C-alpha cells in the first residue's frame, strides 16, 4: 500500500514539474530568439577563431560578418541577424572561401600551409590550419575532413555555453513562478500523501500524458488539466502559528526546491514520468488468497 502511495506521489510531482518546465522552457526559447543568443554564441566563437595574431582581443564583428556574408554562407544570412547554426561542411567551404583557397581536385595541401604561415604567429586560425595540414597526409580532402571533425567538436562546446545559459534562466524563472503562484513542493507532497482522491486524479492525468505522442504540443491543455485537479497551489496561505519561524523556513525551502526542479528541464521530467508510470503499472498488488464466505475448505487441500 505504501509503495503504491509513494509511486503516486512521485508521479504527481513529476507531472507538476513537467508542466512548470515546459512553461519555463517556452519562456527561455522566446528570450533566446529575442536576444539571438544562439547566433551570438556562434559569433563569439568565430571572433575567437579569427582573432588577429599577437592579440588577446577578439576579432572584430565586421570580420566575422565578412566571413558570413562573403562566403557560401552569405545567401542564408539575414541583415544584422547572426546565424544560429552552421553545418560542418558549410563551415569548411566558407573558411576556404574566406582564405581565398580554391578547393579543387588538383589543389595542393602546401597551398594551405602557405596561407596559414601568412596569417602570422599566434593566430588561432593559423594553428588550426597547420594542424590540419600535418594530419592530412598530403591530401587536401583529409585536411577538410579534419576541419569538419574539429568544428563539430567545437560546436559541442558552444552548445554547452548555451545549455548553461538556459539552465540559469530556468532556475530563475522557476523561482519566480514558485514565488508568484506559491508552488511549494513540500506542500504538494503533504496534500498528495493525505488525499487518495487527489493522487488518483493526478495519476490518471499522468497516464494520458505519457501516452501522448508529443506532449509539448499540448502544454496549454496539460496546464488546464493539472489546474483542474486541485493541487494546493496559489496564495493566500495562512502560516501555522504553532510552527512560527520553522513554517517560514520550510516554505522558503519548498519554493526553492520547486525552482531548482524546474531547472532540470521538461525532457527530464517527461522521461521520469514515463518510467515511474510504467513501473507502477508493472507492480501488481498481491492476490488475496482468502476464500469467499460460505466456501467449504478441505483440510488436506489447504
Q: Where do the domains of the chain lie? A: 2-34+164-282, 38-160
pLDDT at 297 (0 to 100): 47
> Exposed, middle or buried: residue 224 (CB in 10 Å: 0-12, 13-18, 19+)?
exposed
pLDDT at 116 (0 to 100): 92
pLDDT at 1 (0 to 100): 47
* Helices (H), ranges, the chain: 2-35, 37-49, 61-69, 88-98, 109-118, 124-135, 140-181, 185-194, 196-210, 219-229, 245-262, 266-282
Calpha distance 166→170 (Å, rounded):
6
pLDDT at 302 (0 to 100): 42
Calpha distance 219→212 (Å, rounded):
11
Rounded to a whole number of angstroms, the distance between the first and last alpha carbons of the chain is 27
What's the number of CA atoms in the CB half-sphere (13 Å) around residue 4?
Answer: 11
The tens-digit pLDDT sequence of the chain (302 residues) is 455 888 889 999 999 999 999 999 999 999 999 999 999 999 889 988 887 765 556 777 788 888 888 888 888 777 678 888 999 999 999 999 989 888 877 788 999 999 999 987 778 899 999 999 999 998 999 999 999 999 999 999 999 999 999 999 999 999 999 999 999 999 999 999 999 899 888 888 888 776 654 544 456 666 676 777 888 888 888 887 777 788 899 999 999 999 999 999 999 999 998 888 888 777 655 545 555 555 544 444 44
Please name which of 40, 47, 150 lies closest in space to residue 92, comparing C-alpha atoms.
150
Amino acid at each position: 500500500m505504501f509503495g503504491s502511495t509513494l509511486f503516486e506521489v512521485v508521479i504527481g510531482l513529476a507531472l507538476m514539474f513537467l508542466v512548470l518546465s515546459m512553461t519555463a522552457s517556452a519562456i527561455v526559447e522566446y528570450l533566446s530568439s529575442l536576444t539571438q543568443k544562439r547566433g551570438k554564441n556562434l559569433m563569439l566563437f568565430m571572433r575567437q577563431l579569427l582573432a588577429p595574431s599577437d592579440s588577446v582581443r577578439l576579432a572584430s564583428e565586421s570580420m566575422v560578418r565578412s566571413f558570413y556574408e562573403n562566403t557560401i554562407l552569405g545567401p542564408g544570412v539575414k541583415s544584422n541577424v547572426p546565424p544560429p547554426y552552421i553545418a560542418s561542411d558549410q563551415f569548411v567551404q566558407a573558411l576556404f572561401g574566406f582564405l581565398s583557397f580554391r578547393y579543387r581536385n588538383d589543389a595542393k595541401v602546401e597551398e594551405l600551409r602557405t596561407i596559414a604561415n601568412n596569417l602570422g604567429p599566434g593566430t588561432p586560425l593559423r594553428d588550426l590550419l597547420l594542424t590540419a595540414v600535418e594530419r592530412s597526409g598530403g591530401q587536401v580532402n583529409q585536411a577538410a575532413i579534419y576541419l569538419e571533425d574539429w568544428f563539430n567538436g567545437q560546436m559541442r562546446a558552444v552548445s554547452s555555453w548555451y545549455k548553461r545559459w538556459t539552465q540559469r534562466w530556468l532556475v530563475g524563472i522557476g523561482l519566480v513562478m514558485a514565488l508568484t503562484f506559491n508552488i511549494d513542493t513540500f506542500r504538494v507532497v503533504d496534500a498528495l500523501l493525505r488525499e487518495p482522491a487527489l493522487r488518483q486524479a493526478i495519476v490518471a492525468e499522468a497516464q494520458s500524458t505519457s501516452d501522448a505522442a508529443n506532449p509539448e504540443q499540448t502544454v496549454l491543455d496539460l496546464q488546464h488539466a493539472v489546474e483542474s485537479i486541485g493541487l494546493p497551489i496559489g496564495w493566500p496561505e495562512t502560516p501555522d502559528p504553532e510552527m512560527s519561524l520553522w513554517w517560514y523556513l520550510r516554505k522558503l525551502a519548498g519554493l526553492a526546491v520547486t525552482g531548482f526542479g524546474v531547472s532540470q528541464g521538461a525532457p527530464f521530467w517527461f522521461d521520469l514520468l514515463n518510467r515511474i508510470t510504467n513501473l507502477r503499472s508493472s507492480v501488481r498488488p498481491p492476490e488475496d488468497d482468502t476464500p469467499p464466505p460460505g466456501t467449504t475448505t478441505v483440510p488436506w487441500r489447504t
